[in-house]
Chains A and B, each alone.
Chain A
Amino acid sequence: MAQPTMTPEALERFLSSVEPGRRASVTAFRAITGGYSRLSVVADVRWDHGGTERLVLRGDPPPGDGVFVSDRDAEWLMLGALSRAGSIPVARPRWYDATGEFFGTKCIVFDHVAGRSLQDVLRGAEDATAPGRMFVDTIAQVHGTPLDALGAAAEQPSSWDDYVDGVLDVYRAVDREVADSSPVLRYASAVLVRHRPPPVPFTLVHGDCQPSNVLVTESGEHVVIDWEFARIGDPREDLGYYTQIPMQPNVYHHDPQAFLARYRERTGLTEEQVNPGTVEYFLVIGMAHLLAQILRALDAVSRGSTRGVLATYLVNAVTHQYGLYLGICRRVAA
Chain B
Amino acid sequence: MISRPTTEQVLLDCCRVLEDDVLPGVTDETTQVRLVMLGKVLRNAAIRAAHEVAWMREETAAIEGYARAVAATVGPDGLRTAQDALAAGPHASLHLADVVEVYVRASDLLSLALEAALADGRDELVREGEALLSARLAHEDEVVGGWDAAGR
Contact of B134 (CB < 8 Å), options: A182, A186, A326: A326
Interface stretch, picked from B9-17, B19-27, B72-80, B103-111, is B103-111
Expressed in whole angstroms, the Cα–Cα distance for A184 and B138 within the complex equals 13
Q: A34-B152, A180-B104, A319-B147 are in contact. Are A313 and B111 (CB under 8 A)?
A: no
Chain B residues lying within 8 Å of A191, measured Cβ to Cβ, are: 118
**B151/A34 in contact, CB under 8 A:** yes
Most buried by B among A182, A187, A308, A322: A187
Chain B residues lying within 8 Å of A320, measured Cβ to Cβ, are: 144, 146-147
- Residues of B within 8 Å of A, CB-based: how many? 37
Expressed in whole angstroms, the Cα–Cα distance for A31 and B107 within the complex equals 42
Which B residues, 25 to 53, have Cβ-Cβ distances below 8 Å to chain A? 29-30, 33-34, 37-38, 40-41, 44
Expressed in whole angstroms, the Cα–Cα distance for A246 and B108 within the complex equals 30
**B111/A246 in contact, CB under 8 A:** no
Q: Is A170 part of the contact surface with B, judged by Cβ < 8 Å?
A: no
Contact of B114 (CB < 8 Å), options: A186, A317, A333: A186
Q: Is A219 part of the contact surface with B, judged by Cβ < 8 Å?
A: no
| B contacts with A: majority SS | helix
**A246/B149 in contact, CB under 8 A:** yes
Contact of A187 (CB < 8 Å), options: B133, B144, B147, B152: B133
**A319/B130 in contact, CB under 8 A:** no
Q: Is B148 part of the contact surface with A, judged by Cβ < 8 Å?
A: yes
Q: A186-B115, A187-B129, A246-B147 are in contact. Are A212 and B152 (CB under 8 A)?
A: yes
Q: A34-B151, A319-B141, A326-B130 are in contact. Are A183 and B110 (CB under 8 A)?
A: yes
**A181/B107 in contact, CB under 8 A:** yes
In the complex, how many angstroms separate the beta carbon of B104 from the nearest chain A beta carbon? 5
Expressed in whole angstroms, the Cα–Cα distance for A322 and B136 within the complex equals 10
Chain B residues lying within 8 Å of A159, measured Cβ to Cβ, are: none
Contact of B133 (CB < 8 Å), options: A179, A184, A308: A184
Expressed in whole angstroms, the Cα–Cα distance for A330 and B107 within the complex equals 20
**A315/B144 in contact, CB under 8 A:** yes
Expressed in whole angstroms, the Cα–Cα distance for A194 and B121 within the complex equals 12
Contact of B37 (CB < 8 Å), options: A31, A179, A194, A309: A309
Chain B residues lying within 8 Å of A88, measured Cβ to Cβ, are: none
Q: A247-B149, A322-B140, A326-B137 are in contact. Are A310 and B107 (CB under 8 A)?
A: no
**A312/B143 in contact, CB under 8 A:** no
In the complex, how many angstroms separate the beta carbon of A175 from the nearest chain B beta carbon? 7
Residue of A nearest to B140 (CB): A319
In the complex, how many angstroms separate the beta carbon of A7 from the nearest chain B beta carbon? 15
Expressed in whole angstroms, the Cα–Cα distance for A333 and B130 within the complex equals 12
Most buried by B among A31, A36, A184, A329: A184
**A179/B130 in contact, CB under 8 A:** no
Q: Is A323 part of the contact surface with B, judged by Cβ < 8 Å?
A: yes
Residue of A nearest to B38 (CB): A309
Taken residue by residue from 109 to 129, chain B's Cβ proximity to chain A (1 for < 8 Å, 0 otherwise) reads as 011001100110000001001
Contact of A317 (CB < 8 Å), options: B29, B108, B143, B147: B147
Q: Is A33 part of the contact surface with B, judged by Cβ < 8 Å?
A: yes
Residue of A nearest to B45 (CB): A312
**A313/B40 in contact, CB under 8 A:** yes
Q: Is B150 part of the contact surface with A, judged by Cβ < 8 Å?
A: yes
**A interface residues (Cβ-Cβ under 8 A, vs B):** 31, 33-34, 36, 175, 179-184, 186-187, 190-191, 194, 212, 245-247, 308-310, 312-313, 315-317, 319-320, 322-323, 326, 329-330, 333
5 contacts between A and B (CB under 8 A): A181-B104, A186-B111, A316-B40, A319-B137, A323-B141
Known pairs A246-B147, A315-B144; list 19 more (Cβ under 8 Å). Answer: A31-B29, A187-B130, A187-B133, A190-B114, A190-B119, A191-B118, A247-B149, A312-B44, A313-B37, A313-B41, A315-B44, A316-B144, A316-B147, A316-B148, A319-B147, A320-B144, A322-B137, A326-B133, A326-B134
